[in-house]
Amino acid sequence: MTVLEDLIQALSRLPGVGRKSASRMAYHLLQTDQEYNTRLARLIHGIQQRVQRCSRCRSFTEEGRDPCDICSSPNRDRRSLCVVEHPQDVLTLEATGAFHGLFHVLDGVISPLDGIGPEELNLPALLQRIREEQIGEIIIATNPTEEGDTTALYISHLVKKEGIRVTRLASGIPVGGDLEYADRITIARSLRGRTLLESLE
Ligand SMILES: [Zn+2]
């Protein structure tokens, strides 16, 4: 295997990058200026040290900024907590500008087929936050998939005992879809039209 082939292989492991794109990228890198390559390599090399998880919401935050900017902001509505599957969902919801509360990242969804049960998710921390923080409403923004719905119901049962209002994003997002690909207006509408989860049962 050649060095170039190694690079193509490595690039094609990135999500959404097929072999053809990987090969195009590799040839581009080969012919671009060295400065760009050095900068890119340095950014990739340091990303896991420089961007870490927030100890409160588990979203990503820059090194030395823990809790993250959202968790430590005095301008957020601390009574509403939006529960999402992945850290990138925080970015998606933030981009809508429609939500001003706090976030909690589950790091996945319940998926028996993939061997992921509730114990694999970031749920103990959620319960702890509900008990320690002044949260009045949990908005569950898991994706509208079977796993997302199962997880939403599970959480609703879990937190009901704590006497907290639990809502789910309205179904403006296509069933089986992904929050990441929904447009801003749709997400904003889903937030406004969120439904009390009890009514789904
Ligand atoms: Zn945070």
Does residue 58 fall inside a structural domain?
no
User: Is residue 134 located within the same domain as residue 188?
Assistant: yes
Give the model's pLDDT for residue 201. 44
Does residue 122 fall inside a structural domain?
yes
* DSSP category for residue 88: H
Give the model's pLDDT for residue 176. 63
Range of the domain at 80: 75-200
Does residue 60 fall inside a structural domain?
no
Q: From ligand 1's centre to the CA of 104, what distance in Å?
A: 8
The answer to whether residue 140 scores a pLDDT higher than 60 is yes
In this prediction the pTM is 0.80
Mean pLDDT estimate for the chain: 89
User: Is residue 86 located within the same domain as residue 167?
Assistant: yes
Q: From ligand 1's centre to the CA of 105, what distance in Å?
A: 9
User: Is residue 44 located within the same domain as residue 137?
Assistant: no
Give the model's pLDDT for residue 37. 97
- Domain count within the chain: 2
Band (pLDDT 50/70/90 cuts) for residue 188 is: confident
C-alpha 177/C-alpha 164 separation (Å) is 27
Band (pLDDT 50/70/90 cuts) for residue 173 is: low
SS3 of residue 147 by DSSP: helix
Q: From ligand 1's centre to the CA of 47, what distance in Å?
A: 18
Which CATH number do you get for residue 162? 3.40.1360.10
Which CATH number do you get for residue 36? 1.10.8.420
Q: From ligand 1's centre to the CA of 79, what distance in Å?
A: 15
**Using one digit for the tens of pLDDT, what is the confidence trace for 17-76?**
999 999 999 999 999 999 999 999 999 999 999 999 999 999 999 999 999 999 999 999
The answer to whether residue 160 scores a pLDDT higher than 90 is no
User: Which amino acid is present at 3?
Assistant: V
- Cβ contact 164:126 at 8 Å: no
User: Is residue 84 located within the same domain as residue 183?
Assistant: yes
Q: From ligand 1's centre to the CA of 58, what distance in Å?
A: 6
User: Is residue 89 located within the same domain as residue 8?
Assistant: no
Sort strands 137-140 and 102-105 into parallel, antiparallel or unpaired: unpaired
Sort strands 165-168 and 195-196 into parallel, antiparallel or unpaired: antiparallel
- Cβ contact 173:143 at 8 Å: yes
